[in-house]
């Protein structure tokens, strides 16, 4: 994982924060269920049962600068969504898990959200889904990605919430294979928001929760079969 030395120096020296708190947080129910089943001698499923929407949230550098990601994950769990919050170092393992889930259940509604380096990871996961030729994710939301990347597909909707004037964030590019809804929203004029606080903005949380609610509603409606989900949709005008 590339750690961007200027970012490391600025954040560590300027804020004086250590490496505490670097751990993956998961809802207790998801972690406890397999242990209970094992105690009863029941076979373990290869993939956990599908939820209305399954959300993966990635923090940024050192796991200590993206507390808004933890807060958003808690809000989603309180609404009944299967939301997991984790460090960016685990993104490749999560990508493999998501690929497995897409193969097992192409209709499951999966959302990936990330901040800073976690936003970069979210884009890489969408691109891997596209590269594998799997049904696209329901939604990818990025807070202030720091790597210029092209999104080739892998999600029906991508929203990049970034600030072009904070010294870190960059817009994303739509690749030729992307046929979903694609938005770069530049929040350069929003007061009180910077690279270290953008993931904590309550108004943005409310918007994202609304988009996830939409994905849940789409999942409850009868839809096309798995093969149709894997085919590119007709291009649509970009809208948020």
- Assess if residue 49 is contained within a domain: no
User: Is the predicted pLDDT of residue 49 greater than 80, yes or no?
Assistant: no
User: Is the predicted pLDDT of residue 24 greater than 70, yes or no?
Assistant: no
| C-alpha–C-alpha distance, residues 2 and 230, integer Å | 32
* 9-18, 148-157, 190-199: segment of lowest average pLDDT: 9-18
Q: Tell me, letter by letter, the H, E, C secondary structure of 117-136.
A: HHHHHHHHHHHHHHHCCCCC
| C-alpha–C-alpha distance, residues 179 and 222, integer Å | 21
- Assess if residue 210 is contained within a domain: yes
For residues 65 and 120, the answer to whether their CB atoms sit within 8 Å is no
Span 98-118, average pLDDT: 98
- Assess if residue 65 is contained within a domain: yes
Q: What pLDDT does 240 receive?
A: 55
- Assess if residue 229 is contained within a domain: no
Q: What pLDDT does 220 receive?
A: 72
Instruction: Give 49 or 134, the one with higher predicted confidence.
Output: 134
Confidence of residue 2 (pLDDT cuts 50, 70, 90): very low
- Assess if residue 122 is contained within a domain: yes
- Assess if residue 4 is contained within a domain: no
Q: How many domains does the chain have?
A: 1
Span 148-156, average pLDDT: 98
Closest CA to 156 of 173, 171, 141, 172: 141
Q: Can you give the residue range of the structural domain that contains 186?
A: 55-220
* 59-68, 135-144, 196-205: segment of lowest average pLDDT: 59-68
Question: pLDDT tens digits, residue range 182-199?
Answer: 999 999 999 999 999 999
User: Is the predicted pLDDT of residue 230 greater than 60, yes or no?
Assistant: no
User: Is the predicted pLDDT of residue 61 greater than 60, yes or no?
Assistant: yes
Confidence of residue 21 (pLDDT cuts 50, 70, 90): very low
For residues 137 and 113, the answer to whether their CB atoms sit within 8 Å is no
Span 122-136, average pLDDT: 98
Q: Residue 146 is part of a domain; what is its CATH number?
A: 3.40.50.1820
Question: pLDDT tens digits, residue range 72-87?
Answer: 999 999 999 999 999 9
Confidence of residue 52 (pLDDT cuts 50, 70, 90): confident
* 42-46, 80-84, 109-113, 172-176: segment of lowest average pLDDT: 42-46
Q: What pLDDT does 219 receive?
A: 79
**Residue 137 phi/psi, 5° resolution?**
-65, 160
- Assess if residue 64 is contained within a domain: yes
- Assess if residue 170 is contained within a domain: yes
Q: What pLDDT does 50 receive?
A: 53
- Work out the mean pLDDT of the chain and round it to a whole number: 81
Q: What pLDDT does 11 receive?
A: 43
């Amino acid at each position: 994982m590339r750690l961007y030395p200027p970012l490391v120096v600025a954040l560590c020296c300027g804020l004086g924060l250590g490496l505490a708190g670097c751990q993956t947080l998961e809802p207790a129910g998801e972690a406890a269920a397999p242990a209970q089943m094992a105690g009863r001698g029941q076979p373990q499923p290869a993939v956990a049962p599908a939820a209305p929407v399954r959300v993966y949230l990635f923090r940024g550098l050192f796991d200590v600068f993206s507390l808004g990601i933890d807060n958003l994950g808690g809000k989603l769990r309180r609404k009944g969504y299967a939301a997991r919050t984790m460090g960016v170092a685990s993104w490749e393992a999560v990508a493999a898990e998501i690929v497995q889930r897409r193969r097992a259940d192409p209709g499951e509604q999966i959302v990936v959200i990330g901040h800073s380096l976690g936003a970069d990871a979210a884009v890489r996961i969408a691109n891997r889904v596209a590269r594998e030729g799997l049904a696209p994710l329901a939604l990818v939301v990025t807070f202030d990605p720091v790597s210029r990347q092209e999104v080739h597909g892998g999600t029906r909707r991508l929203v990049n919430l970034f600030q072009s004037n904070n010294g870190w964030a960059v817009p994303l590019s739509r690749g030729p294979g992307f046929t979903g809804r694609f938005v770069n929203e530049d929040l350069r004029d929003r007061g009180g928001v910077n690279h270290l606080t953008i993931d904590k903005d309550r108004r943005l949380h409310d918007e994202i929760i609304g988009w996830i609610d939409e994905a849940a509603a789409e999942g409850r409606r009868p839809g096309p079969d798995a093969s149709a989900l894997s085919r590119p949709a007709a291009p649509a005008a970009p809208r948020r």
